[in-house]
Amino acid sequence: MSFNWRRQACWMMAFWLFSACSNGPVKKEAYDTPTSGAIHISVDESFKPVIDEQIKVFESSYPDAKIIAHYKAEADCLKDLISDSTRMVIITRALTWEEERFLKDTLTYSPSQEKLAYDAITLIVNNNSKDTIFDLADIRSLLKGTSGYKYKVVMDGLTATSTVRYALDSLLKGQAFGQNVTAAKNSQAVIDYVAANEDAIGFVGVSWIGDQTDTNMLSFTGKVKIASVECVNCDPVAYVKPYQANIGLKRYPMVRALQAVVKENFQGLGSGFTNFLIYERGQLIFRKAYLWPVRMALGVRKTNI
């Protein structure tokens, strides 16, 4: 009995050693590199137009690379971070200390985080609307349902999206939405709804309506009007639109940062794509989409019109 057990153990040890020697270490070529391979990323749906353009240019520059983007609500992007299949997320905030600690405990290393650009939440109204100027008190009362304006407020979802989180945290300071706030499927649906209803007012990211050189963006801009919002650093009082200068000079009040979180402890494709986003070509694409690039110096000149 003892002999059989020992003989079986020897056979198992020999089989393990043979398998290890036959397979050898995993070759480096099996992994992606900063410019090759394929990865899945999750992206806040608010930034689909500009991230689609970033991926298009990146993949044209590096034909061996494939970035597979899944556009969804911000909270769902964060959930994807604990999934093995998702290497990178692009959202509108940094990880909290609790989230970072949980991921470090799970992964045994901390994900890297990079700020990419600044985005403006844009207020849009129907082309026939007479109301195109709002102060922050107007916007808060609209969201609470206590405004004298009889508008239906359209968000890109009632829960989990970055736009909804900004409205609840930064504008309403934790108060609830009014009964006049409704949800559309996504940012494009917000634009379509406002375009079809004179009594609607919508909230979307500036990249959905700001790129004047893209034919799709031109069609969206023709459907709706961009409202002016009370300037937070203007004397005398002024109302401004979400132009890049107003974002960069902190004149436009509803601004948020775009953040990349990469779950890699080696120089892989997630790191390579992030480097593309934070350096010249990626920053130029953000500028073209009317976001304010974080690392690109832009000059602001005063002119008389």
CB neighbour list of residue 302: distance below 8 Å, 6 or more residues apart: none
Pinpoint the alpha helices (H) of the chain.
Answer: 2-23, 48-61, 74-80, 97-107, 136-144, 162-166, 187-196, 215-223, 244-248, 269-278, 280-288
**Is the domain of 136 the same as that of 218?**
yes
What the block records as the tokens of 272 is 């390579």
The model's pLDDT over 197-245, given as tens digits with 9 standing for 90+, comes to: 999 999 999 988 865 556 665 556 678 999 999 998 888 889 999 988 9
**Residue 157: pLDDT band with limits 50, 70, 90:** confident
**Is the domain of 171 the same as that of 276?**
no
What the block records as the tokens of 219 is 């069609």
Q: Is residue 304 part of a domain?
A: no
**Is the domain of 111 the same as that of 166?**
no
**Is the domain of 125 the same as that of 231?**
yes
**Is the domain of 183 the same as that of 276?**
no
AA letter at 304:
N
* pLDDT value for 22: 35
d(CA 101, CA 111): 10
pLDDT over threshold 70, residue 258: yes
Domain containing residue 111: CATH number: 3.40.190.10
Q: Is residue 7 part of a domain?
A: no
d(CA 250, CA 242): 10
- Residues 16-38, mean pLDDT to the nearest whole number: 56
Q: Domain limits at 177?
A: 120-248
* Dihedral of the alpha carbons of 131, 133, 138, 139, in degrees to the nearest 10: 100
